[in-house]
Structure formats: structure tokens, C-alpha cells
Homo-oligomer: A and B are copies of this chain.
Amino acid sequence: MTTVVPVEKKVLNENQRIAEQLRQRYAKGGTLCLNIISSPGSGKTTLLEKTLAGFSQKDKVAVLTGDLQTENDARRLARYGFPVQQIVTGTVCHLDGRMIERALEPWSSTEIELLFIENVGNLVCPSSYDLGEEAKIVVLSVTEGEDKPLKYPSIFSKAALMILTKVDLLPYVPFNLEQAKANARQVHPGIEIVELSCQTGQGFDIWQQWLTKRRSAARERFACAGA
């Protein structure tokens, strides 16, 4: 595997360069970009569906959603009336800066105030690729086990927020909620945590408050930069 290391570094350096350009683009346009990462099936798309349903049509929200195959998620998300684009990666296990750059081309940089990126379902590789986002959000469903932050520390150490999804299933699965949170904090003491269920709506207000707080801060920064 030694031969791959310098190339991997080169690829990551090149990605970093593009990520900086994306960051500048977001800053100039006043876009808050959130990069959502999880295992397949943790509920990223369902979370986004319910989140989009809570916005008004005046909200300048857009979504980029990545998958190896199918446009299913874009179809599901487009029903809410906001701009959505599917990025089909083929065999690539993560989204990278170049894919985001290309996907953003048709959109003007000032028409998006909040950009959600739903990464490819993979708890490992996407954590290495900066997409110029303001924050990474890691989604962990309670059916996956409380040990995941310890086993996949890279993404949990980089994420500003962990969303524990499917808490309505807690009565039926062997999942120690307190241990899960302690494990996440062991890897990343400052991580914020929201527990919610998209089925019952429990905890969804906390997630919306988190978003509102982040959007207000982004708006203030944008106003200051323009002043």
C-alpha cells in the first residue's frame, strides 16, 4: 500500500485547494453549507425530507445528494419545491470538492442561503474530503450500536454535530443512549448532540433550533463582511 500514499496525499491536497475555493464562494454568496455524513440507511434523506418540509418557499435552501447509483434521493427531495441535484459517483465512495464545484455551476452563488450536502452513505471515506462546508454533521441511528464513535473516530472527531436518529426504536433495540453520547464525547469533547425521530417528530425542534442558530450566525458574518 506504500505506493498509494503520495497519490492519496496529492488527491487530498488538490481537494483541499478546491475546498478553499468553495469556502470563498460560500462566503461571498452568504451560503451556509452543511455536509451530512453517515452509514447507509441512517436516515439522512428522511431527515432532509422532514427538514425541507419545515421551510417556507421563501427560504433559499438547496440540496446536493450523493449516491453511487440511482437518482432516488433527488426525486424524494425534489418534492419539497427546492433546488435539488443528484451527484451519481459511480464507484467513488465519497463526494469530493470537484463534484460539488461542478454541481454548483448552474446555480448563482447568491441564490442559496442554506446548502445541504447529503454525502454518499459511508462512515469512513467522506470524512477525509473537505467540501468547503461550515460544518460536518454525522448522523447515527440507534439501530447501529453505541460503539460506532469509537470505531469510526475520524468522522466523529470532525463533526460539529451528531444527530442520533430513529430514537422511536429505542424500546426495541439494544442501544445504550448515554454510552453512545459518552463515546462521541470521548472522541470529540465539544461535539453537539441532538436526539430525534423523523417518525414521531420527537426532538425535531431541537434540530431546527440548531439550524436557526447556525443560520443566524452565518447571516451576521455575511452582513459584517459586506459592511
Q: Which residues of A contact B (CB under 8 A)?
A: 1, 3-4, 7-8, 10-11, 39-41, 67-70, 72, 91-93, 96, 98, 120-125, 128, 141, 143-145, 147-148, 150-154, 166, 168-169, 172-174, 199
A72-B151 contact, Cβ under 8 Å, with A3-B7, A39-B39: yes
Least distance between A177 CB and chain B CB atoms (Å)? 15
Alpha-carbon gap, A144 to B122, bound state (A):
13
Contact B124 A123 (CB under 8 A): no
Alpha-carbon gap, A97 to B4, bound state (A):
15
- In the assembled complex, which residues on chain B have CB atoms less than 8 Å from the CB atom of A125? 93, 122, 124-125
Interface pairs A-B: 8 shortest CB-CB: A41-B144, A93-B124, A143-B143, A39-B39, A39-B40, A7-B7, A41-B145, A40-B123
Integer count of this chain's copies in the complex: 2
- In the assembled complex, which residues on chain B have CB atoms less than 8 Å from the CB atom of A141? 41, 143
30 inter-chain pairs at a CB distance below 8 angstroms, sorted by A residue, are A1-B92, A1-B96, A1-B98, A3-B7, A4-B8, A4-B11, A7-B7, A39-B39, A39-B121, A39-B144, A40-B145, A67-B151, A68-B152, A68-B153, A70-B151, A72-B147, A72-B150, A91-B124, A91-B128, A93-B93, A93-B122, A121-B123, A121-B152, A124-B125, A125-B125, A141-B143, A143-B143, A143-B166, A143-B169, A169-B172
- In the assembled complex, which residues on chain B have CB atoms less than 8 Å from the CB atom of A151? 40, 67-70, 72, 121
Contact residues of A: prevailing secondary structure: loop
Task: Name A120's closest neighbour in chain B (CB-CB).
Answer: B124
Alpha-carbon gap, A168 to B92, bound state (A):
33
- In the assembled complex, which residues on chain B have CB atoms less than 8 Å from the CB atom of A72? 147, 150-151
Least distance between A184 CB and chain B CB atoms (Å)? 14
- In the assembled complex, which residues on chain B have CB atoms less than 8 Å from the CB atom of A166? 143
- In the assembled complex, which residues on chain B have CB atoms less than 8 Å from the CB atom of A10? 3
